[in-house]
């Protein structure tokens, strides 16, 4: 079994693959000060809940954009599973060319998503990842990572509104019944939901024009992918587990196991 771990700024998403099948997955809060023992306890509890033996794990792939987390997580995985985690980073085989000015600046999760998307479609792509930041990543029909767009995420934007406007409440992120809100909560929900929907549609349109290729496949992933993707006319597919799938693909490309 392969344990795939995607460490983001807000959440850690974990998934267990048995051959090509994702058999279970979890999402936990990212805690930058979690200790090795705490990670071991957390992982043991998650595996126990799904009645999966930790001894069945013979591979671990990790994508991490939160440097303070990686040392403790890597050590915990090594001690609990007796497996050295494979960390996504510079110099590994990905199967795609990275055309960023400085490839080392590209977040590991963005490359992993690009690999997963291109492996499936083999054509030009725009991948929209709704995480702490909302990112748009562009892949050419030749499998080249071209670059992308980074904008503030939905969650932190709403939190900033609550924090800096004293009379505005903290609200649930959801689609309101109409664009015109008839109360403060609905008005805020409209601004966040339709504002981000318009941002996504507008950036996809601009990127598509600039890429000058055949119409790209647009994939949405991340925590708010389903919410925005279901209302978007530009998003082709919503894949909640795109990053986990990409981790599996990259792990297989770099594995020495027969």
With respect to residue 252, please indicate whether it lies within any of the assigned structural domains.
no
Read off the pTM.
0.90
Q: Which of 10, 1, 177, 3 is nearest to 87 (CA)?
A: 3
Count of structural domains within the chain: 2
Same domain, 123 and 229: yes
With respect to residue 132, please indicate whether it lies within any of the assigned structural domains.
yes
With respect to residue 162, please indicate whether it lies within any of the assigned structural domains.
yes
pLDDT score of 53 more than 80: yes
C-alpha distances in Å from residue 170, one per residue of 106, 157, 162, 166 = 32, 11, 6, 11
Same domain, 150 and 222: yes
CA distance 94 to 50: 31
Same domain, 109 and 196: yes
Name the DSSP letter for residue 142. Answer: T
Asked if 109 is an active-site residue, the reply is yes
Residue where a domain stops, chosen among 28, 52, 87: 87
Same domain, 129 and 57: no
Same domain, 145 and 75: no
Same domain, 111 and 183: yes
With respect to residue 92, please indicate whether it lies within any of the assigned structural domains.
no
Same domain, 74 and 39: yes
197-240 pLDDT, tens digit per residue, is 999 999 999 999 999 877 899 999 998 999 999 999 999 999 99
| pLDDT for 163 | 86
Instruction: Give me 26's structure tokens.
Output: 């979890």
pLDDT interval class at 257 (50, 70, 90): low
pLDDT interval class at 169 (50, 70, 90): confident
Same domain, 128 and 200: yes
With respect to residue 251, please indicate whether it lies within any of the assigned structural domains.
no
Task: Tell me the mean pLDDT in the region 31-53.
Answer: 95
With respect to residue 109, please indicate whether it lies within any of the assigned structural domains.
yes
With respect to residue 159, please indicate whether it lies within any of the assigned structural domains.
yes
Q: Which domain holds residue 67?
A: 2-87
Same domain, 102 and 226: yes
| pLDDT for 58 | 94
Residue where a domain stops, chosen among 47, 66, 87: 87
CATH code where residue 52 lies: 3.30.420.40
Same domain, 118 and 186: yes
Q: Which of 181, 199, 202 is nearest to 190 (CA)?
A: 181
Residue where a domain stops, chosen among 25, 52, 87: 87
Other residues' Cβ atoms within 10 Å of the Cβ of residue 153: 22
For residue 91, give every residue at least 6 positions away whose Cβ sits within 8 Å of its Cβ, in sequence order, or none: none
With respect to residue 38, please indicate whether it lies within any of the assigned structural domains.
yes
Same domain, 200 and 78: no
Catalytic residue, candidates 109, 129, 137, 239? 109
């Amino acid at each position: 079994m392969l344990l795939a771990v995607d460490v983001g700024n807000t959440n850690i998403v974990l998934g267990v693959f048995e051959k090509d099948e994702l058999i279970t997955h979890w999402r936990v809060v990212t805690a930058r000060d979690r200790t090795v023992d705490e990670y071991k306890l957390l992982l043991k509890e998650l595996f126990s809940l799904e009645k999966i033996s930790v001894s069945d794990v013979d591979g671990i792939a990790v994508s991490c954009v939160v440097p303070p987390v990686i040392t403790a997580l890597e050590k915990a995985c090594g001690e609990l599973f007796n497996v050295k985690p494979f960390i996504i980073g510079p110099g590994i085989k990905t199967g795609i060319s990275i055309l960023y000015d400085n490839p080392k600046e590209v977040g590991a999760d963005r490359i992993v998503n690009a690999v997963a998307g291109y492996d499936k479609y083999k054509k030009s792509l725009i991948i929209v990842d709704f995480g702490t930041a909302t990112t748009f990543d562009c892949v050419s029909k030749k499998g080249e990572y071209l670059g992308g767009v980074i904008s503030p995420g939905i969650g932190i934007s709403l939190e900033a509104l609550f924090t800096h406007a004293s009379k505005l409440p903290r609200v649930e992120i959801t689609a309101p019944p109409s664009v015109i809100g008839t109360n403060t909560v609905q008005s805020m929900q409209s601004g966040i939901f339709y504002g981000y929907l318009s941002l996504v549609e507008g950036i996809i349109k601009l990127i598509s024009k600039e890429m000058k290729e055949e119409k790209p496949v647009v994939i949405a992933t991340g925590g708010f992918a389903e919410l925005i993707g279901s209302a978007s006319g530009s998003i082709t597919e919503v894949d909640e587990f795109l990053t986990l799938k990409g981790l599996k693909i990259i792990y297989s490309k770099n594995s020495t196991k027969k």
